Amino acid sequence: MIRATILGVGSYVPERVVTNDELRYLDDQHVRRDTVQTETNDEWIRSRSGIEARRYVPNDGVTTSSDLGLFAARRALDDAGVTAQEIDCIIFATLSPDIHFPGNAVFLQSKLGVDGEAGCACYDIRQQCSGFVYGLQMADTFVRTGTYRRVLLVGAELHSHSLDYSTRGRDVMVLFGDGAGAVVIGPKETDDPRDGVLYTHCGADGSGAMDLHLKIFEIKRAPFVSYDPRDREQNLSMYPQMNGKKVFLNAARTMVQSVGRALEKTGLTWDDIDWFVPHQANLRINEAVVQYGNIPPEKALNTIQQYGNTTAATVPLTIDHHRKLGTVKKGDVVLSTVFGAGYTWGSAIFRL
Ligand code: UT7
């Protein structure tokens, strides 16, 4: 039977490392000032979230999230031994697209040099921190049904330009970083039920939609963008807003349930799974999921310490990071569970 399999993985993070100490000196252009701009500190950020540093793109007016996606995509294509010309579907997951429309997948297609009359299908999906698992479910279905043969799935985020670098925005600002991850998915003829993508499940609960949101605009209003750049401090529509405690509790509870469901539906146990790769929103969430989900702690992989929360990029970025360290190897089985704004969530089990 035909199963969808992961042919290659790649990731990219920008060079600039912003430590917790430096973060509090940054102004809204990410320039380090002599005086503290945000009342926060390393101890608070580490103890509440596990984060030690994050990566930022240069504030050059040029770099976009589709660029980050491009760098990760090239690495995934190399890893897969697949050319961009062979890709017949791009799925781009991001909450920080280059512009409002069109979505990032078509920009990525052009940057890969495979645009034109015979250009492949391009999908953009949102789903925030759950984007990778949602995209994997789509890619798995497309490949198994023969709709597409080579799917490029990218999660990329440029958060650093849309954060509130003041004490008012500190609860959200300290959590997020820039980065990208990508996988190439293709068909494999196999009778092994434990090969390729074994399982995906996605869910959502719209009643939590406003617990974590970024408006930018409200189309019901005219003008739908109301933004006075001279009064940036006051304009809440321009910055993500979060009910942190509520999101935290829902994330931990839902991720535990999602892991349990994945094991129950597949009949697998932790003996069959090499690694647990949760979304990287908060190390305390992931530690709670490991504890209450009865997950062997030595199988849980995190990168939030180095990269912060890169939303749709966290899962492939974490896998690639640990692959470069030699922890994760080709053929390993991964259970990944995500939760994010929406609320949205999902789990996937796949062999690398
Ligand atoms: O990726 C999508 C999903 N996102 C998440 O899952 C994130 C979920 N939420 C969280 O990770 C946590 O709720 C946070 C890390 C955002 C906050 O941690 P918390 O333990 O829930 O802290 P809190 O919001 O209850 O704030 C405690 C105190 C407050 O001060 P008072 O009112 O007790 O005096 C905050 O004002 O910490 C203060 N605080 C900060 N202090 C220093 C909030 N942010 C900061 C900060 N630095 N950055």
CB of 266 within 6 A of ligand 1: the answer is no
Nearest to 334, CA basis, from 196, 221, 233, 225: 196
Based on the residue annotation, tell me whether 279 is a catalytic residue of this protein: yes
Tell whether ligand 1 has an atom less than 6 A from the beta carbon of residue 73: no
Q: What's the pTM value of the predicted model, to 2 decimals?
A: 0.96
- For the chain, how are helix, strand and coil distributed in percent, rounded to 5? 40, 25, 40
| Residue 173 CA, closest ligand 1 atom number | 48
- Please tell me the distance from the alpha carbon of residue 290 to that of residue 69, in angstroms, as a whole number: 30
Structural contact between residues 9 and 352, judged by C-beta atoms closer than 8 angstroms: yes
Q: For residue 48, report the distance from its CA to the centre of ligand 1, in Å.
A: 7
Per the DSSP assignment, residues forming a β-bridge with 309 are 176
Short-list 61, 241, 228, CA closest to 158: 61
Tell me how far the alpha carbon of residue 164 lies from the centroid of ligand 1, in angstroms.
Answer: 14
| Residue bearing tokens 């949102």 | 126
pLDDT tens, N- to C-terminus, the chain (352 residues): 899 999 999 999 999 999 999 999 999 899 999 999 999 999 999 999 999 999 999 999 999 999 999 999 999 999 999 999 999 999 999 999 999 999 999 999 999 999 999 999 999 999 999 999 999 999 999 999 999 999 999 999 999 999 999 999 999 999 999 999 999 999 999 988 889 999 999 999 999 999 999 999 889 988 888 777 677 667 788 899 999 999 999 999 999 999 999 999 999 999 999 999 999 999 999 999 999 999 999 999 999 999 999 999 999 999 999 999 999 999 999 999 999 999 999 999 999 9
Q: Is the CB of 174 under 6 A from ligand 1?
A: yes
309 is catalytic: yes
Q: Give the chain's radius of gyration (CA, Å).
A: 20
All structural domains of the chain? 2-189 (3.40.47.10), 197-351 (3.40.47.10)
CB contact at 8 A, 2 and 136: no
Token pair in block for residue 292: 């209450």
C-alpha 338 – ligand 1 centre gap (Å): 20
Beta-carbon contacts of 291 under 8 Å, excluding residues fewer than 6 positions away, are none
Q: Which of 129, 159, 202, 250 is catalytic?
A: 129
260 Cβ inside 6 Å of ligand 1: no
